[in-house]
Every structure is written in C-alpha cells, then in structure tokens.
C-alpha cells in the first residue's frame, strides 16, 4: 500500500495503546457472559448522583457548542486551589493534556524522560511527535528512582513526566524525594506531574505538587475526573500550571475539547465531596481486603496509593482469570508477564475475584 511510504516513520513504529476489554467484548469474542471488569481503574462506585442529574438537565442543550473556556469549572477550580483562572488548562481527559505537552514541546531530536513501567500513554505521545522517550527503570521497590531520572536529563531533554501515584504499580514518591527532584531540575525542562490517582493516596507525606507551580514555572500538575469522580466515560481532565505554560498549552488545543455534559457533570461532582469521600473509603477498604486475601493465596501484592493493586500471581494469571469472567490488566507489555494490575472494585466484585483465584489455585493444586 502506497501509504506505507508516506506515513511518518515514528507513527508507523507506534504500538497502539491496549485498553482493557469491556465485558461486552468478552461476551462477543469468547462467549463469556456476566464478566466483571477490574482492568481500567474506573470508579468502583460510579459517578455522583448529582453529576448524573446535572447531565440530565443539560441534555436539551446539546445542540449548542460547549463553553470552550470552561468558565464555571475554571472559576470553581481556581478557587479550590487558590490559583489564578489563567493557570488552568482543560482537556478531553487528562490524556489530551499529555498530548498537548508533547505537541508544544517535543519534536525530532528532543527527549522526554519518564520512569518505566509507568503510564502507557507517555511513550505514545512522545513518539507520536517523533521525539525520543528516555525511560528510567523503577527502583527495586518499584518506586520512581528520581535520582536516576535527574541523571538521565541532558540538554536535549524538554519534558519529564512523574506519575504519582504511579500507574501500573500503585507506588508513590513522598514529599522529601519529590521536592528535592523538583528543586534540582533545570529551568528549561517542563515538569509534568501526573496526579490522576492522587485523591486516593493515603501516605501522609504525599507531595504538594501544585505548590511547586508557583515556585517553579514550567511545572504542570495534571488531574482527572475519570478516576475518583467516576466520570471516565465523559473525558475531562485538567492541569494547573503557571500562566505562560497554560497559555501555550491552550493555544494548541481544540476550541471545544470539553463537552457540555462533561463540564456540568464535573462541576456537580466537585460539589459532592461526600461521594468522593465514599469512593476513597470503599477503595481503602477494598485495598485492605484484597491485599490480605491475595497474599493469603500466595500472591505478592505491592503497597498502593491508588485504586488498583499490582499483583504477582504467576505467568498465565490474566488468561485464567479472564476465562472465569474476571477481566484484569495483563502487564506482559511492561516486561512483567507474571504480574497483573487489578482495579479495586466494589466489595462483591473483590470477593468474586478472590473466590475465582482460590478456585483456580485449588484446581492447580489438584492437577
């Protein structure tokens, strides 16, 4: 095909993002009915009823373009974080912000430094611009090795991504390590702190990355409504940065990148702190339950500050769970074929996972 000759080489070489299979696809492809999905770090308890009600009353207005400036959401978040309104950037999911950073700062010959294993979108957005990903292995506890990341920075480095808590390990860095790293970064490097899961973090010394925005221009802290707020299907995320950085990112985005329903739902979700609190609580209880039970079944489980667990449970665990209708995330693509990432679900989902695994172990023992 002639296109092969004209497609950008860095796009041809891109490996596409592998999303978790929805249960409907499992039914279609493998005939497995009634599966549960604990694979995409979606909210266990779903969206706030207030967010759903807000969307319902906004439905009649969808023939109108959304407010491209996200006026109300902007004002609300600026108040919440005590930052200027010009310091906020919105995206069609936080994923779009990653893409904007790449579009604005990366091209052939430029480097972006990030830990590995970490969020699968980083290499995609970096390579998507023809720039070079520079990956730095996590340390032996599967935590960001910030000293090694600092050492990996060269005069070609334009962007550093720090995923905290880290996906897919759930591990996090504390304030001391983060602060030292941020303070030592050269000025001409954009620091992107991906805090998609920070609302779940339980460690008391979790870093105040947004506090660094005022101290270090060129810092972007990303958050999302997809995880704790349960609005993944709507696609809305935001970043906090200094006004100059926010301005550059805003120039590169589509004018209506946050849709009407997403904006009203996000606003309503922020007003329902009780729901977010419940989400945190259900998650913390689920984390404790799953960690205990999975360890009792002989799995290695890493401590997690997020809404998922990294679990080492043997080579074919992903396949065997999937055949039993429990969809988790395989990590063979990260060079961890004996590990899976399990999203913490509702109590009945967690119990089903544990019972399924116990049954598989039993069967294995009988063989």
Ligand X SMILES: *Cc1c(COP(=O)(O)O)cnc(C)c1O
Chain residues that interact with ligand X, rule: CB under 6 A? 41, 93-95, 119, 163, 167, 194, 196, 224, 226-227, 232, 237
Per this entry, what is the length of the chain?
A: 367
Tell me the closest approach of the beta carbon of residue 147 to ligand X, in angstroms: 22
Tell me the closest approach of the beta carbon of residue 226 to ligand X, in angstroms: 3
Other beta carbons within 10 Å of 161: 26
| Residue closest to ligand X (Cβ) | 93
Cα–Cα distance for residue pair 208/174, rounded to 1 Å: 9
309: left (phi over 0), alpha (psi -120 to 50) or beta: beta
Angle, vertex CA 334, rays to CA 329 and CA 337, nearest 5: 70
Tell me the closest approach of the beta carbon of residue 224 to ligand X, in angstroms: 3
Q: Which is nearer to ligand X, 112 or 163 (CB)?
A: 163
Q: Which is nearer to ligand X, 66 or 93 (CB)?
A: 93
Q: Which is nearer to ligand X, 119 or 212 (CB)?
A: 119
Tell me the closest approach of the beta carbon of residue 139 to ligand X, in angstroms: 18
Tell me the closest approach of the beta carbon of residue 94 to ligand X, in angstroms: 4
Q: Which is nearer to ligand X, 127 or 167 (CB)?
A: 167
Q: 104-122 in b/e burial notation, b at 16+ Cβ within 10 A?
A: bbbeeebbbbbbebbbbbb
Q: Which is nearer to ligand X, 99 or 145 (CB)?
A: 99
Tell me the closest approach of the beta carbon of residue 122 to ligand X, in angstroms: 9
Residue 19 DSSP one-character state: P
Contact assessment for residue 307 and residue 44, using Cβ atoms and an 8 Å cutoff? yes
Cα–Cα distance for residue pair 36/14, rounded to 1 Å: 30
Cα–Cα distance for residue pair 102/100, rounded to 1 Å: 5
Q: Which is nearer to ligand X, 213 or 360 (CB)?
A: 213
Nearest-Å Rg of the Cα atoms of the chain is 21
Q: Which is nearer to ligand X, 95 or 293 (CB)?
A: 95
Q: Helices in the chain by DSSP H: which ranges?
A: 3-6, 9-12, 23-30, 49-58, 71-81, 94-105, 121-128, 146-151, 175-184, 209-215, 243-252, 260-271, 273-296, 317-323, 347-366
CA dihedral defined by 86, 90, 96, 102, rounded to 10 degrees?
0
Q: Which is nearer to ligand X, 291 or 307 (CB)?
A: 307
Q: Which is nearer to ligand X, 224 or 279 (CB)?
A: 224
The percent helix, strand, coil of the chain (3-state, each to 5) is 45, 15, 40
Tell me the closest approach of the beta carbon of residue 155 to ligand X, in angstroms: 27
Tell me the closest approach of the beta carbon of residue 362 to ligand X, in angstroms: 33
Contact assessment for residue 172 and residue 164, using Cβ atoms and an 8 Å cutoff? yes
Closest of 163, 159, 160, 156 to residue 138, by C-alpha: 163
Tell me the closest approach of the beta carbon of residue 6 to ligand X, in angstroms: 30
């Amino acid at each position: 095909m002639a296109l092969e000759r004209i497609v950008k080489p860095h796009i041809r070489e891109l490996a596409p993002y592998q999303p978790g299979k929805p249960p409907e696809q499992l039914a279609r492809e493998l005939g497995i009915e009634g599966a549960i999905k604990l694979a995409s770090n979606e909210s266990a308890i779903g969206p706030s009823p207030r967010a759903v009600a807000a969307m319902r009353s906004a439905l009649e207005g969808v023939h109108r373009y959304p407010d491209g400036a996200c006026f109300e959401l902007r004002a609300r978040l600026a108040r919440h974080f005590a930052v200027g309104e010009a310091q906020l950037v919105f995206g069609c999911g936080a994923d779009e912000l990653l893409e904007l950073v790449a579009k604005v700062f990366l091209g052939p010959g430029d480097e972006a430094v990030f830990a590995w294993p970490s969020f699968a979108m980083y290499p995609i957005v970096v390579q998507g611009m023809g720039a070079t990903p520079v990956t730095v292995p996590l340390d032996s506890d599967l935590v960001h090795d910030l000293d090694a990341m600092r050492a990996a920075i060269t005069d070609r480095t334009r962007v550093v991504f720090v995923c905290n808590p880290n996906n897919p390990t759930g591990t996090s860095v504390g304030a001391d390590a983060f602060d030292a790293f941020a303070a030592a970064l050269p000025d001409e490097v954009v620091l992107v702190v991906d805090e998609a899961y920070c609302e779940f973090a339980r460690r008391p010394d979790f870093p105040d990355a947004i506090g660094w925005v005022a101290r270090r221009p060129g810092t972007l802290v990303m958050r999302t409504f997809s995880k704790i707020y349960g609005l993944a299907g709507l696609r809305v995320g935001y970043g906090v940065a200094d006004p100059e950085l926010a301005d550059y990112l805003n120039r590169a985005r589509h004018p209506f990148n946050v849709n009407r329903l997403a904006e009203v739902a996000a606003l309503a979700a922020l007003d329902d702190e009780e729901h977010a609190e419940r989400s945190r609580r259900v998650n913390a209880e689920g984390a404790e339950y799953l960690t205990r039970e999975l360890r009792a079944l002989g799995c290695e489980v890493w401590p997690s500050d997020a809404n998922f667990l990294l679990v080492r449970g043997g080579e074919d665990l992903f396949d065997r769970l999937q055949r039993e209708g429990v969809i988790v995330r395989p990590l063979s693509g990260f060079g961890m074929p004996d590990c899976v990432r399990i999203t913490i679900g509702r109590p009945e989902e967690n119990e089903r996972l544990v019972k399924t695994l116990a049954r598989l172990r039993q069967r294995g023992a009988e063989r």
